[in-house]
Amino acid sequence: MQLTGAEIVIRCLQEEGVEYVFGYPGGAVLNIYDEFFKQDKVKHVLVRHEQGAVHAADGYSRSSMKTGVCLVTSGPGVTNAVTGIATAYMDSIPMVVLTGQVPTHAIGQDAFQECDTVGITRPCVKHNFLVKDVKDLAVTIKKAFYLASTGRPGPVLVDIPKDITQASTEFSYPKTVSLRSYNPVTKGHAGQIKKAVQLLLEAKRPMIYAGGGVILNNAAPQLTRLVRLVGCPCTTTLMGLGGFPATDPQFTGMPGMHGTYETNMAMQNCDVLIAVGARFDDRVIGNPQHFYRADRKIVHIDIDPSSISKRVKVDVPIVGYVADVLDEMLKLIESSPQRPDPAALKTWWAEITEWQRKDCLKYDTKSDLIKPQYVIQKLYEITSGDAFVTSDVGQHQMWAAQYYKFDEPRRWINSGGLGTMGFGLPAAMGVQMVNPGAPVACVTGEASIQMCIQELSTCKQYHLPIKIVNLNNRYLGMVRQWQEFFYGNRYAESYIDALPDFVKLAEAYGHVGMKIEKPGDVDGALREAFKLKDRLVFMDFITDQTENVFPMIPGGKGLTEMILAEEL
């Protein structure tokens, strides 16, 4: 059957089982939009800015294990989308980005709304394609979905010139596709796995450090079993929260710059560290020279060979899907009578318990001002720890990560790698779309929320009852914190004067707004908001302006060089 390129795009999306496409129309994609109009299998969600479309597709993917899809027009549509694409790339989110392009004959002529999409996005996609012949369109889209979701996932972009959407060809959607140059190693090396198990079982002070790879590869059940079987402490990074239950006594909290005292001490002092789908990021281990210890063995399991020995030399590298590797490790451990020496483990835990006594996350609970930590704790309580929580970037993000205890994977959705302010609200839209009826909270700040505030309008159009928890301290909080610590209290441009009245703003968009100024009102406001099941509620919490995130490792320092709240 002869189909036009535009029809082919829609048919491919149908074949892939895509439910939602987040996008924004424009000249170069008009033919594709016309085909959207003629069918109702694939639903289109109209955002208010292309960045929002990509973040929404991203949130959709993170909370659902599916590949997110977005569609934007050429030129400014693409450049607006770049922040979202880079965000997804840094966090390895499977995504297919379809972009319109000027007609092939106009490419390179500085045509209206032309930009070098493939060139601009090249450094922030797993791969990208420019389709130059309608005959290649279907197979290219198939390749895009395949590349996005296999190996180390990531965004893949397909740039489609307008004339390609008009041209016709015979349509057949390939069932499978293979690329001779793309063969990720997915099965871990048996010998290496054996070595890793041996190290773990012989360890006196073992520790497991899991990252976003556990979430992406749906390996939380395997990780949980392994940690419980071995009896060692477990930490999950910002990207790995929920990969191991935060309420489990073996969970020691997040590591890194704003990680817990006990986790950072344990990471530094363990004798065997098993890194699972984590990448020894600078925000996690601080200075690699300081992190290095000759007497500590490191096992690193990752799907991406280039993540291994990139920042930290490891003793046992294992390349493969973390879920499969953990399965193999579990098999070996379960069939072996050997377990880590119980006496040594007991001493290790006693040491950790001593570190835990620092109670590094305590804060002033008697203040007359609303403490942001308290808001998060209340949010956790009122949602029974069962909400999807998205966040923006800054202090509120760290507090959400520290005080909301995620027991399940894919509940905590944040921009960890790129650190994109403006991510939270559009990501929450994607989350709510794929989890209708589930409680979705967007923890944000008065600065971040304004970076994609326009999406409040999209939320109204699609009846997305997101609960926005705005921790409003009238400062770019994290910037202010650094300025307080390292720049002699010179708060250069970190104070936001002339903030909008967020209650009125929410109401103007057709939502419910609340302003909460006293600690005593926090609980009631949150309860009321979550009772409004079909309304978006914007809760503007006026919080203590001077609150800081602790513990904190200053940039360039080592894991044990933490600043604790009590030390100030």
Partner 1 sequence: MRHILSILVENEAGALSRISGLFSARGYNIESLTVAPTEDVTMSRMTIVTIGSDDVIEQITKQLNKLVDVVKVVDLTEGNHIERELMLVKVRAAGKDREEMKRLADVFRGRILDVTDKSYTIELTGTGSKLDAFLQAIEPGVILETVRTGASGIGRGERILRI
Strand order, beta sheet including 537-542: 412-413, 388-391, 440-445, 467-472, 537-542, 512-516
Calculated CA dihedral for residues 310, 313, 319, 322, nearest 10 degrees: -90
Report the residue count for the chain: 568
* Shortest CB 177 distance to partner 1, Å: 12
Which residue, 70 or 130, has its beta carbon nearer to partner 1? 130
Residue 123 or 337: which CB sits closer to partner 1? 123
Least distance (Å) between residue 163 CB and partner 1: 18
Catalytic, out of 95, 267, 478, 539: 478
| List 65, 90, 113, 484, catalytic entry | 113
Annotated active-site residue 50? The verdict is yes
Complex with partner 1: residue 179 or 499, whichever CB lies closer = 179
Closest C-alpha among 39, 49, 90, 91 to residue 70 = 49
Q: Establish whether the linkage from the previous residue to 551 is cis, with ω within 30° of 0.
A: yes
Of 78 and 516, the one with the shorter C-beta distance to partner 1 is 78
Catalytic residue among 7, 16, 35, 50: 50
- Going by DSSP bridges, is the β-strand pair 2-4/168-170 parallel, antiparallel, or unpaired? antiparallel
Three-state secondary-structure class, residue 3: strand
Q: Which CB atom, from 166 or from 306, has the smaller least distance to partner 1?
A: 306
Phi, psi values for residue 503, rounded to 5°: -65, -50
How far is residue 53 CA from its own chain's centroid? 16
- 482 CB burial (10 A radius; 0-12, 13-18, 19+): middle
Catalytic site residue 7? no
Q: Which is nearer to partner 1, 21 or 130 (by Cβ)? A: 130
DSSP-assigned beta bridge partners for residue 412: 389
Q: Return d(Cα 323, Cα 276) in angstroms, integer.
A: 9
Question: Does residue 406 contact residue 412 with C-beta atoms inside 8 Å?
Answer: yes
Q: Least distance from C-beta 116 to partner 1, angstroms?
A: 10
Distance (Å, whole) CA 476 – CA 495: 6
The minimum distance between CB 176 and partner 1, in angstroms, equals 17
- Catalytic residue, candidates 162, 371, 378, 467: 162
Closest distance of CB 305 from partner 1, Å: 5
Single out the catalytic residue among 39, 112, 166, 507.
112
How far apart, in whole angstroms, are the C-alpha atoms of residue 69 and residue 404? 29
User: Is 483 a residue of the active site?
Assistant: no
Give, rounded to a whole angstrom, the gap between the first and last alpha carbons of the chain. Answer: 73
C-alpha closest to that of 495 among 541, 550, 451, 447:
447
- Rounded to a whole number of angstroms, the minimum distance from the CB of residue 182 to partner 1 is 5
Is residue 46 within 8 Å of residue 426, measured between CB atoms?
no
Contact footprint for partner 1 (CB under 8 A): 118-119, 122-123, 126-127, 130, 147, 179-182, 304-306, 308-310
Minimum Å gap between C-beta 497 and partner 1 is 38
Nearer to partner 1, 317 or 439 (CB): 317
Query: Reduced to 3 states, what is the DSSP secondary structure of residue 112?
Result: coil
> Can you say whether residue 108 is alpha, beta or left, with left for phi > 0 and alpha for psi between -120 and 50 degrees?
left
Residues known to be catalytic: 50, 112-113, 162, 478
